[in-house]
Structure 1
Amino acid sequence: MNNQQNNPHPHYQVIIVGGGQAGLSVSYHLQKLDISHIVFEKNRVAHSWRNDRWDSFCLVTPNWQCRLPDFPYQGDDPQGFMLKDQIVEYVEAFAQKINAPLSEGVTVMRVRRGNQGWLEVTTSAGEFTADHLVVATGGYDIPIIPDYAQNLPDHITQIHSVQYRNPQSLPAGEVLVVGTGQSGVQLMEDLHLAGRKVHLAVGNAPRSPRLYRGRETTEWLYDLGFYRLTLDNHPMGDAVRHKTNHYLTGRDGGHEIDLRKFALEGVSLYGSMANIQGATLEFKADLTQNLDEADDVYVRIRKDIDRYIAENGIDAPEEPPFRKVWEPEFDPLTVDADAAGITSIVWAIGFRPDYSWIELPAFDVQGHPQFQRGITNEEGLYFIGLPWLNTWGSGRFLGIAEDAQYLAGVIQGKIEAAQSQTCTSRRPAMN
């Protein structure tokens, strides 16, 4: 740390906001480059893993994909899926190993451009300035609950998935889970396995096989190059950043989730949630469409793997063709929650980020940060740990190390360029 001339506040070359795995990974690489920095974490390391996940939570991707910088998974089950407490231990062990300059319990409340050109950072621990600021807070700030949820009668409990802990934490009765992203389907299964009667509002999330032709699907996809495909080369372009991840689970050793099978086991399926009027729950007529589209993605992944196996002459066991085990007779459009015995609703329709504390012109009209591989057009401002920052693995343990190393290198280059320019401007003119 050093103090700039005429600057009354502590100054760092880099301030990192967020002490999770992404922010700590950047710190690791900045330390290797001897760049002065500090990491502000408003809670404590691994807080979201520890406090914002349900009891039975586990990774969806296998443990071998946990590759923090120079700190890969070192357990005895690389094909398994770490449970919540194990994830916390992994991140905490990484933080301890790198000994980052970490300040926990410090909230960053405001970032703006100062008159001197550097970034002014207001925190709960005082004022700081920096030449560069890395935002590593993730995109899960504000739980999404639709406005019409306020129409639900008070006697029906409603929570967001971030508040869910276990089936026993909900009142007795039947449960409606809204959303079929990774959280929604896993909460549905958690409740179903506990013997609760579950209703599920099915969205448009795609699904994936877990095991196919004798091997874990993510291993096939890794070999196929899906994890190396960059945003610049993706056929969907920037739109892929907002695409919902495929649903499957790592529970009990990992398995795929076919909602049609759950329907056969008694889970009631509906289309996307549309509205609530009193105890009347309204759904869109898209259940059949959403199930079919999820299956289309599932089958397409299988075909990609089949093609790769054939092209490379790989000896792999054959699989029977996919078939639908259940079809809805119709798309139910309304349900009387009281008549059905639904006493609680779990909203699992995601989150939205909150960057209102960053007073810099680096966002689009929807409030999404604009960047190229984490580098914004606003000098000195960077993002990391977001889905498709550069690759599919950018928002996961798999791709963070590469992204962090790249950002640290960019920052180093800019620091060296600024120092060179300063030296040149101070050099006396030759006569």
Structure 2
Amino acid sequence: MSVEKVDTLVVGAGQAGVAMSEHLSNCGVPHLVLERSRIAERWRSARWDSLVANGPAWHDRFPGMEFPNCHPDSFPAKEAVADYFAAYAEMINAPIRCGVEVRKVSKRAGWIGFHVETSDGQIEAKNVVAATGPFQIPVIPPIIPADTNILQIHSSAYRNPGQLPDGAVLVVGAGSSGVQIADELSRAGKRVFLSVGPHDRPPRSYRGRDFCWWLGVLNKWDAETRGPGQEHVTIAVSGARGGETIDFRRLASQGLTLVGRTDRFENGKLFFALDLAENIARGDANFLSLLDEADLYVARYGLDLPEESEARSIEGSHACIDHPLEELDLSAAGVTAVIWATGFATDYSWLEVDVFDERGAPHHSRGVTAEPGIFFLGLPWQSRRGSSFIWGVWHDAKHLADRIATQRKYMEYHTAMQRAAADA
């Protein structure tokens, strides 16, 4: 059986893989990108129908191309985002091979590089970049038994309200996905319970500028480490309906019943932590602190941005917040479906190299591992807060491509010296 040889193999053709290909090409590094499905497939098939980008088109893109047919301040629909990456890959002539699954990567004993088993044959690569991102295995906490007569799906499997059976819905998770799905179901006439955990809640916009702009000028996107207690805090923001600030009190006024963090299930009942008011207060504090920093920035630099005093007004509380449910009898409440917006786990079972910590997470520095030739791209906080965003992954890819190109030059020198010695 013939074995294909490549210098650098990139696994995954989402935003990370496309960005990696661009920078490897710019550095003159021969490479191949393998994608088991289509370019940016998760944007097409692992998102709900009405999803739009959470960042505006001017911000959440690569530097080399704007979103076509989109106003800079609009929020592109999911298909437009997928089409953007496909068009970008075509523009840079990325060597992407779709429909090929990488099944195993192992170190070549006594040789530089790695042996790669794919669904389309064998490959030998000097470098392997795992660009599969952090959203690989949907996580559903083992709280409600699977044999309970209730539909349980992960947010990645949700498509639209018509997919669900008649009856009420519990949405677990108050990040961007959970809030937007709960809001959509409520607007469709469903009775919705929303389980709210710790979260950050930035303003969608303030004083005429999107929060993405504020995080940029305040250097928050470039923060290199999470603050204390921020390891598992999600962010609640939405580009739906032209972009809006997530306001849990508004959702309660709209008819949603807010509950605390989902804790346990016993005898047909779900029990919730009594942390709802605390979680909402924490989100409010995060919201107001960003407004404070923005106002100081405007004053310091004398920017001509209109004041927005009404932004600080917080709607009055609601009964479900003041007197939160401690338990919910799912049958009595008519709950027929639970949507778990509880995040994802990674799956690197195909990567058989010693680069993982005791939790199975990649051990790396800005995507560079202790195993020469193994790199990661697209991880949250890979180098900064913005690393898992479209523009952030582009910059991280440049760093990795530079590292690969530099090592390649050292090996080229080594080969040249060996040839010179042989000819002497």
Q: Verify same fold: TM over 0.5.
A: yes
Alpha-carbon distance, 1:101 to partner: 1.4
Cα distance in 2 for residues equivalent to 1:162 and 1:407:
30
Distance in 1 separating the partners of 2:69 and 2:361: 37
CA distance in 1, matches of 2:308, 2:98: 52
> SS where residue 15 of structure 1 aligns?
strand
2:400 matched to which residue of 1? Answer: 407
- CA contact 2:106–2:116 (8 Å) conserved in 1: yes
Correspondence for 1:246: 235
CA contact (8 A) 1:140 1:351 kept: yes
- 1:317 and 2:307 are equivalent in the alignment: yes
The 4+ residue runs of structure 1 with deviation greater than 4 A are none
Aligned equivalents of 2:75, 2:54: Cα separation in 1: 7
Give the RMSD, CA atoms, in angstroms.
Answer: 2.0
C-alpha contact (below 8 Å) 1:191/1:198 kept by paired residues: yes
- In 1, Cα distance between the equivalents of 2:297 and 2:41? 40
Distance across 2 between alignment mates of 1:77 and 1:430: 62
- Please report how far the alpha carbon of residue 318 of structure 1 lies from its aligned counterpart in structure 2 after TM superposition: 3.4
- Matching residue within 11, 16, 27 for 1:17: 11
**1:298-313 correspondence runs (5 A):** 298-313=287-302
- Which amino acid counterpart does residue 390 of structure 2 have in structure 1? F
Percent identical across equivalent pairs? 36
Partner of 1:280: 269
Change (3 A) 1:46 1:430: closer
- For the 8 Å contact 1:287–1:331, the answer to whether it is kept is yes
Partner Cα separation in structure 2 for residue 37 and residue 430 of structure 1: 30
Structure 1 residue ranges without an equivalent (≥5): 1-6
2:366 pairs with 1:373: yes
Change (3 A) 1:314 1:68: closer
1:265 Cα deviation from its structure 2 partner: 2.1
Question: For residues 293 and 203 of structure 1, what CA distance do their matches in structure 2 show?
Answer: 10
In the alignment, what sits opposite 2:167? 173
Counterpart amino acid of 1:421?
H
Q: Equivalents in 2 of 1:103, 1:402: separation in Å? A: 23
Aligned to 1:210: 204
Counterpart check, 1:120 vs 2:119: no
**1:4 corresponds to which residue?**
none
Cα separation, 1, equivalents of 2:215 and 2:25: 33
Does the CA-based 8 Å contact 2:193-2:257 persist in structure 1?
A: yes
Q: Out of 263, 266, 274, which is 2:255 matched to?
A: 266
> 1:177 is aligned with what amino acid?
V
Q: Residue 89 of structure 2 aligns with which residue?
A: 95
Q: Which letter does structure 2 place at the counterpart of 1:123?
A: T
What corresponds to 2:326 in structure 1?
Answer: 333
The CA deviation string for residues 257-276 of structure 1, in whole angstroms up to 9 with x for no partner, is 11112112221111101112
Q: TM-score, normalised by structure 1?
A: 0.92
Alignment partners' CA distance in 2, 1:383 and 1:345: 34
Q: 135, 144, 147: which is aligned to 1:140?
A: 135
- The alignment status of 1:256 with 2:256, answered yes or no, reads no
SS of the residue corresponding to residue 94 of structure 1 reads helix
Determine if contact 2:59/2:212 at 8 Å carries over to the other structure: no
Matches of 1:376 and 1:149, distance apart in 2: 38
Aligned residue in 2 for 1:294: 283
Matched residues in 1 for 2:107 and 2:28: separation?
Answer: 25
CA contact (8 A) 1:207 1:246 kept: yes
The answer to whether the Cα contact below 8 Å between 1:151 and 1:278 also exists between their aligned partners in 2 is no
2: CA distance, partners of 1:47 / 1:138:
12
Shift of 1:76: 4.0
The more displaced of 331-340 and 395-404 is 395-404
In structure 2, the residue matched to 1:129 is: 124
Contact 2:260 2:275 in 1 (8 A): yes
Alignment-derived partner of residue 48 in structure 1: 42
Distance 1:309 1:281 in 2: 47
**3-state SS in 2 of match to 1:109:** strand
**Structure 2: runs of 5+ lacking an equivalent:** none
1:324 CA displacement: 4.5
What secondary structure does 1:276 align onto? strand
Deviation readout 1:34-59 (Å, 9 max, x if unpaired): 32211110111121000001011001
**Whole-angstrom CA distance in 2 between matches of 1:303 and 1:230:** 18
Which digits, 9 at most, give the CA deviation of each residue in 1:3-34, with x for residues without a partner?
xxxx9621111000001121011112222333
Matched, 1:186 2:175: no
Is the Cα–Cα contact under 8 Å of residues 57 and 66 in structure 2 kept in the other structure?
no
Shift of residue 424, structure 1, vs aligned partner: 2.4
Q: For 1:243 and 1:332, how far apart are their aligned partners in 2?
A: 24
Does the 8 Å contact 1:66/1:73 carry over to 2?
no
Contact 2:57 2:70 in 1 (8 A): no
CA deviation after TM superposition for structure 1 residue 323, in Å: 2.8
* Residue number in structure 2 paired with 1:3: none
Deviations 1:307-336 (A, max 9, x none): 111211223313133434215222321110
Give the 3-state SS of the residue equivalent to 2:117 in structure 1.
strand
Question: Match for 2:133: what amino acid?
Answer: G
Q: TM-score by structure 2 length?
A: 0.94
Q: Partners of 1:42 and 1:343 in 2: how far apart?
A: 35
**In the alignment, what sits opposite 2:344?**
351
